[in-house]
């Protein structure tokens, strides 16, 4: 998961990364106890906030109030801004440093530059950005970073070496997949401050990371998808609030394939879902929750269930689905179930006996055609 800049800085500061004094502000009426001038930074888990007008400098209290009023509530790349980080201005030469996991190779990629700032990405691959790949271990990563920093003049060199050591410690402690500091402000004496921070951690590591868990629980509204996963034990992500088709699916790969299939046919999925049928264990709670969330979708006109059963018995799932549908009468969109695997015949019989108009089809393409009938008006 990608963390908001404010949370990234707070988490990194706990392990010794220097950051500007700052607070999270949700209203223009709030007056943070910080020293002017201040930077006002819209909080969203996307890049390019500066180019989108999401970062302002406030020289006076009036400018601060105006900036907070303008930024709070704006939308950046589809993300509505609920809060801003207000922090003290930091000066210095701008550098750049990032560490990222190369999952395919099991290594750590390092990028470093004596030139940071908003357009550094355009310089990737040029002589301005130094790059290295290291064994996925703290000592190896630090050795590689020091070797890169040796090609940079002082005082940037000293700052980059110290920053590398601190960020590598944070990377492994928090089980991160990316830490990027841009700009990295460097003073004449070689000390440095993280002007901005992009911080991404492994979702699967969250149960081991109490500091990260505490942050999610405290700020669930800012991290709804991961909070949902922690609270319910499976993945449900709203892809398009006006999406036409609600999905009740299992298996991340198969679910993403289904989203792509629908898009290729010119239709949008309301959600991504990996309900993990193997963990239902005779309890319809997960199915009820998913159907309720789908029923709340304003544009949903059809629901497609896609369960490929191996160990899980489709007959058992059919009983749970019938129970869940009865528990969610507000779901009025027609339901198509693509079922294949162990217990198929029993599942068909259960759904038929329930008198529930669920259309069952084992072939995926045919099931998609059936699910699209309410949208296209064609016969399938």
- Is 213 within the bounds of a domain? no
Query: What CATH number does the domain containing 176 carry?
Result: 3.30.470.20
Q: Which of 156, 189, 207 is the last residue of a domain?
A: 207
Containing 238, the helix (H) or strand (E) segment is strand 235-238
Per-residue pLDDT, averaged over 17-32, amounts to: 90
pLDDT tens per residue across span 298-345:
999 999 999 987 777 899 999 999 999 999 999 999 999 999 988 999
Are 242 and 372 in a shared domain?
yes
Average of per-residue pLDDT values in the chain: 92
- pTM for the complete prediction? 0.76
Q: Which of 88, 116, 146 is the last residue of a domain?
A: 88
Query: What CATH number does the domain containing 330 carry?
Result: 3.40.50.261
Are 241 and 309 in a shared domain?
yes
> With pLDDT > 70 as the criterion, what percentage of the chain qualifies?
96
Token pair listed for 86:
């207000």
Query: What CATH number does the domain containing 58 carry?
Result: 3.30.1490.20
- Is 28 within the bounds of a domain? yes
Buried b (16+ CB within 10 A) or exposed e, 279-290: ebeeebebbbbb
Residues in the chain: 380
pLDDT tens per residue across span 278-301:
778 889 999 999 999 999 999 999
- List the domain range (segments joined by +) for residue 123: 93-207
CB contact set of 182 (below 8 Å; sequence gap of 6+): 96, 97, 98, 116, 117, 120, 195, 196, 198
275: left (phi over 0), alpha (psi -120 to 50) or beta: alpha
């Amino acid at each position: 998961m990608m963390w908001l800049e404010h949370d990234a800085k707070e988490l990194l500061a706990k392990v010794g990364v220097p950051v500007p004094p700052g607070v999270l502000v949700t209203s223009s009426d709030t007056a943070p106890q910080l020293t002017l001038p201040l930077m006002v930074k819209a909080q969203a888990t996307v890049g390019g906030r500066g180019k989108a007008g999401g970062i302002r400098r406030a020289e006076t209290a009036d400018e601060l109030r105006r900036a907070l009023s303008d930024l709070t509530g704006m939308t950046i790349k589809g993300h509505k801004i609920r809060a801003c980080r207000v922090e003290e201005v930091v000066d210095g030469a701008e550098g750049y440093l990032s560490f990222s996991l190369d999952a395919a190779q099991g290594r750590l990629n390092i990028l470093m530059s004596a030139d940071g700032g908003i357009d550094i990405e355009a310089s990737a691959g040029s002589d301005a950005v130094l790059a290295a790949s290291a064994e996925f271990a703290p000592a190896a990563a630090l050795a590689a970073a020091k070797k890169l920093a040796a090609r940079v003049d002082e005082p940037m060199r000293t700052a980059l070496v110290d920053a590398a050591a601190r960020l590598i410690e944070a990377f492994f402690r928090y089980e991160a997949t990316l830490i990027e500091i841009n700009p990295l402000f460097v003073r004449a004496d070689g000390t440095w401050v993280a002007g901005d921070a992009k911080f991404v951690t492994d979702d699967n590591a969250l149960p081991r990371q109490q500091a990260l868990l505490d942050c999610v629980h405290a700020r669930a509204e800012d991290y709804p998808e991961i909070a949902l996963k922690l609270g319910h034990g499976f993945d449900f992500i709203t892809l398009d609030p006006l999406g036409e088709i609600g999905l009740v699916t299992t298996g991340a790969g198969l679910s993403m394939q289904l989203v792509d299939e629908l898009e290729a046919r010119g239709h949008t999925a309301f959600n991504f879902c990996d309900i993990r049928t193997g963990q239902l264990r005779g309890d319809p709670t997960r199915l009820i929750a998913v159907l309720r969330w789908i029923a709340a979708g304003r544009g949903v006109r059809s629901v497609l269930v896609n369960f490929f059963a191996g160990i899980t018995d489709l007959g058992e799932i059919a009983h749970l689905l019938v129970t869940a549908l009865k528990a969610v009468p507000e779901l009025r969109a027609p339901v198509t179930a693509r079922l294949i695997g162990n217990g198929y015949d029993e599942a068909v019989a259960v759904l038929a006996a329930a008198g529930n108009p669920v259309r069952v089809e084992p072939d995926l393409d045919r099931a998609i055609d059936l699910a699209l009938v309410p949208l296209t008006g064609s016969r399938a």
